[in-house]
Chains A and B, each alone.
Chain A
């Protein structure tokens, strides 16, 4: 027992990812953790989306199953698993069976390189960003084959739309990513003109390397070469919504025109795989955006507000967040109607709040506090993106298909090219200017 604790402690002290250390056991543990965490996130996302969307539309959303509908996703999952799994008679059986698995595999494999912290990643690849873009682009294969294998009109049209859309927006997305890769090699002025090394140096494609470059250059890439980084981020933010087939670019599954698009003929368990894949793909592209532009796992102002006191201050945030959530639950429990019919719900909500508050208290322990900071900040940034997705869905009307293509090819693509060229030029011009400025100041 003691040996096991010592082993875990020894591993936690190491500064390598399990993949880089070649540690099979920890790699497996990390894979399981990411898988479980992702499933929980998808379930939470399902509930949150319905609630937030409902409140945006001045409705209540799910209220019946569990307090405030908290158990609704679980009920839905059970329902989907118990439903009959229908396969159309004219469908191509093998392809119809394989297609959802392609989509799910593509969506989950991406998380191999997502860095939740400097050591909290399954592995770090030399080609991290390329791997993420490549694997997430495989999802379109699953969608196309799903639409084709259904052997029906709506799915086929949905699949054709979806493949055209995803291929188009991938180009703009790639250009925005390349501009960031360029930025990793260009050390410039930095925030308040106090950047790291003054000269240009080799860039990197590794996800961890990109975040470390942002730390060294004293700024998130969204602020680098203002407004170039911001424009790149904007291109990516638009392209990633199109890439995940979400509103306002949800044409492949436009309910009013195509019933449900490429997954019209799917039901039960296989439909739920598409659902799972859609949400994990959203989380995946959001984590690319967070890593590339928003400093990944870095807490706010890691350089300007450095030092143990600030570290302590920012390490309190995870616990406070969970305490706040717990408090919210207690508040709602107190506001529950006092009728005996609601007694179980009130008790359940209080128990849930107590669990959250307990987690919050555990997160205040010194040993835990110092280690979960990275994961907390990363998840918080990704969560902000998830909220944006819901917000878009609640606000924007759906695009027409030709408008969608127009935005992709005639607006985002030329902007992306201009951005890339300008970034390169600025990176070439800036070092001498920065040196001169340092001399003057």
Chain B
């Protein structure tokens, strides 16, 4: 397996895409534009996963997030009319408090990462991509090393509850 080429360049390109996408999501008036920006951010993030040698997570990100969840979002945006909400006020009255809280959280992040910088001395490790999917499957299903098997079952239960919940919520008359 060859080492990746141009890692810094692609990292900054993809991060810029993710961040610009994120900013557009929270600033656009039109929900469809927000959704498209979010899709771009999600795809760029799948690229970041590939750079972190997590191809399976990247694939799941594309197929589930970009191809599944976001289609659901777009579908719902089109079902409910949005013309009216575009002309209204976009930010609620507590926006100042919200920004202040976010700034406080940001300060906390900065503090933590400047203090804890020495904890992560070396990050540029190279690992073969082959076997990643098999490794994830081992942790999820294997007889001996499958320590997340129970959690997996719980997750499937969660999905079942979500399906029933969504049907019950969205149905006019049950």
Contact = CB atoms under 8 A, between A and B. Distances in A.
Contacts of A166: 71
B32 A159 contact: no
A134 B75 contact: no
Contacts of B36: 95, 98, 145
A74 interface: no
B2 interface: yes
A232 to B, nearest CB: 19
B59 interface: yes
A407 interface: no
B18 interface: no
B98 interface: no
B78 interface: yes
Given A22-B2, A126-B132, A144 B71 contact: yes
Given A126-B130, A127-B59, A148-B74, A138 B67 contact: yes
Nearest to B74: A144
A8 interface: no
Contact of A160 (B30, B68, B75, B132): B75
Given A140-B67, A141-B71, A167-B72, 7 more contacts: A126-B130, A127-B55, A130-B63, A140-B71, A144-B71, A166-B71, A167-B68
A210 to B, nearest CB: 13
B71 to A, nearest CB: 6
Contact of A156 (B2, B55, B62, B78): B78
Interface of B: 2, 5, 30, 32-33, 36, 39, 55-56, 58-60, 62-63, 66-68, 70-72, 74-75, 78-79, 129-134
A28 to B, nearest CB: 13
Contacts of B132: 126
B32 A167 contact: no
Interface in A177-227: 202, 205
Interface of A: 22, 24, 92, 94-95, 98, 125-127, 130-131, 133-135, 137-138, 140-141, 144-145, 148-149, 156, 159-160, 163-164, 166-167, 170, 202, 205
A130 B59 contact: yes
Residue of A92, A126, A137, A140 most packed against chain B (CB within 10 A): A126
Contacts, number: 78
B33 A95 contact: yes
9 contacts: A92-B30, A126-B129, A126-B130, A130-B56, A131-B62, A141-B67, A159-B78, A164-B75, A167-B68
Given A130-B56, A145-B32, A160 B78 contact: yes
A133 B64 CA distance: 10
Contacts of A156: 78
A205 B133 contact: yes
Nearest to B72: A167
A125 B75 contact: no
A92 B32 contact: yes
A279 to B, nearest CB: 21
A138 B133 contact: no
Contact of A134 (B59, B79, B129, B131): B59
User: What are the 9 tightest A-B residue pairs by CB atom distance, in nearest-first order?
Assistant: A137-B67, A134-B63, A22-B2, A134-B62, A130-B59, A127-B59, A127-B55, A144-B74, A126-B55
A135 B62 contact: yes
Contacts of B56: 126-127, 130
Contacts of A95: 32-33, 36
Contact of B78 (A98, A130, A140, A148): A148
Nearest to B138: A202
Contact of A167 (B30, B58, B66, B71): B71
Contacts of B59: 127, 130-131, 134
B164 to A, nearest CB: 15
Residue of B5, B55, B63, B72 most packed against chain A (CB within 10 A): B63
B78 A144 contact: yes
